């Protein structure tokens, strides 16, 4: 079995454990109490880092919450910060205006906060101001969208876009590899974004390992409206489909609406990101949606944990090496009816 296929199929059996393990590692370093409210992260194993330390000021900025996943990002950051008596937390108003977000970070720098957790609207555009913060001695934790200079952050925590595609493709292969003529459709997000390109490449690579390929592909805009529109067009163009991968569960609300309106049910669908409404549909089992691939909205909660560690000069307790890793890439597990109960309580609402 080739490396790509091994990676994909191994992901199906071990990703849930790996995903929970990363969450436990971070939470075990920083949780205030042995139990966790379930709002922001994973397990909370006790460690010396759980003890209240010196109060640190952590500032957070992210894009506008015009999408369920982004709203979940901000909520998870806020919920995580509220668990700690030693965090003085401030949240800038979400914005999709690059100049406004730059100004927010400049304000954080002028205020002399102890750490900044930043999900940039545009990683390249926010790189210079993140460098300014780092040069001012304020550690920056970069979340989700990378800066284009590694010196602009003390640590970076990311979802695995390519891995999402691999997970979705490997799952479809596990269902359809005995049907070499299977018709596979893909409903992507915004095609100009590197994250969309990475997801599509991972999907194509995983499918190729079982002799399948994408037969019909359309691109939406991560919105309900665009998902419904492009799916209606897809269904008209493809009279027979065996499986669909939709990159995003928010646009998936529109995708499922178009499928229901068309009266089509000869295929199964895999979603993306891991919204609560998608997981409820998987639990109920009364739609074509039978799986979704996690893209963790809890990245921001983990960013808060890392910022607290860095600002307080602590180590990741579950690692032998000192300090905090420079880069963490979270896993992309597949959620099905068999394991949905492990994930739904921590999912975001679309």
What pLDDT band is residue 316 in, cutting at 50, 70 and 90?
A: confident
Which residues of the chain does CATH 3.40.50.2300 include? 31-159+298-318, 161-294
Question: What is the per-residue pLDDT for 29?
Answer: 46
What's the pLDDT tens digit per position in 84-120?
A: 999 999 999 999 999 999 999 999 999 999 999 999 9
Question: What is the per-residue pLDDT for 231?
Answer: 98
Question: What is the per-residue pLDDT for 223?
Answer: 94
Query: How many Å apart are CA 205 and CA 207, to the nearest integer?
Result: 6
pLDDT at 38 over 70: no
CATH superfamily of 31-159+298-318: Response regulator (3.40.50.2300)
What pLDDT band is residue 47 in, cutting at 50, 70 and 90?
A: low
User: Which residue is it, tokens 């436990």?
Assistant: 24
81-86 long-range Cβ contacts below 8 angstroms, 24+ apart: 81/304, 83/31, 83/32, 83/33, 83/36, 83/37, 83/40, 84/30, 84/32, 84/52, 84/308, 85/32, 85/52, 86/52, 86/53, 86/54, 86/55, 86/56, 86/308, 86/312
DSSP string covering 302-327: HHHHHHHHHHTT---TTSSSSS--SE
Q: What is the CATH number of domain 161-294?
A: 3.40.50.2300
């Amino acid at each position: 079995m080739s490396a790509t296929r091994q990676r994909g199929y191994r992901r199906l059996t071990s990703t849930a454990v790996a995903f929970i393990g990363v969450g436990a590692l971070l939470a075990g370093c920083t949780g205030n109490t042995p139990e966790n409210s379930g709002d922001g992260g994973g397990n909370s194993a006790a460690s010396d880092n759980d003890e209240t330390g010196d109060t640190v000021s952590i500032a957070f900025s992210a894009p506008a919450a015009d999408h369920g996943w982004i709203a979940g990002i901000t909520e998870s950051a806020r919920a995580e910060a509220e668990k700690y008596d030693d965090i003085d937390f401030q949240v800038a108003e979400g914005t999709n205006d690059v100049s406004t977000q730059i100004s927010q970070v400049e304000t954080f720098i002028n205020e002399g906060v102890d750490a900044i957790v930043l999900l940039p609207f545009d990683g390249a555009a926010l790189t210079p101001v993140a460098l300014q913060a780092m040069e001012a001695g304020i550690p920056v934790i970069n979340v989700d969208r990378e800066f284009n200079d590694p010196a602009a952050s003390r640590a970076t925590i990311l979802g695995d876009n390519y891995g999402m595609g691999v997970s979705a493709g490997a799952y479809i292969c596990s269902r359809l590899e005995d049907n070499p003529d299977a018709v596979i459709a893909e409903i992507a997000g915004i095609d100009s974004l590197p994250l969309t390109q990475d997801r599509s490449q991972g999907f194509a690579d995983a499918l190729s390992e079982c002799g399948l390929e994408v037969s019909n592909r359309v691109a939406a805009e991560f919105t309900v409206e665009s998902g419904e529109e492009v799916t209606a067009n897809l269904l008209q163009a493809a009279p027979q489909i065996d499986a669909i991968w939709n990159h995003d569960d928010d646009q998936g609300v529109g995708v499922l609406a178009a499928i229901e309106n068309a009266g089509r049910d000869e295929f199964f669908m895999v979603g993306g990101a891991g919204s609560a409404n998608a997981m409820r549909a998987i639990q109920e089992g009364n739609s074509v949606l039978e799986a979704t691939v996690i893209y963790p909205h809890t990245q921001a909660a983990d960013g808060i944990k890392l910022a607290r560690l860095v600002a307080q000069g602590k180590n990741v307790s579950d690692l032998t090496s000192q300090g905090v890793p420079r880069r963490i890439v979270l896993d992309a597990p597949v959620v099905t009816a068999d394991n949905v109960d492990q994930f739904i309580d921590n999912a975001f609402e679309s």
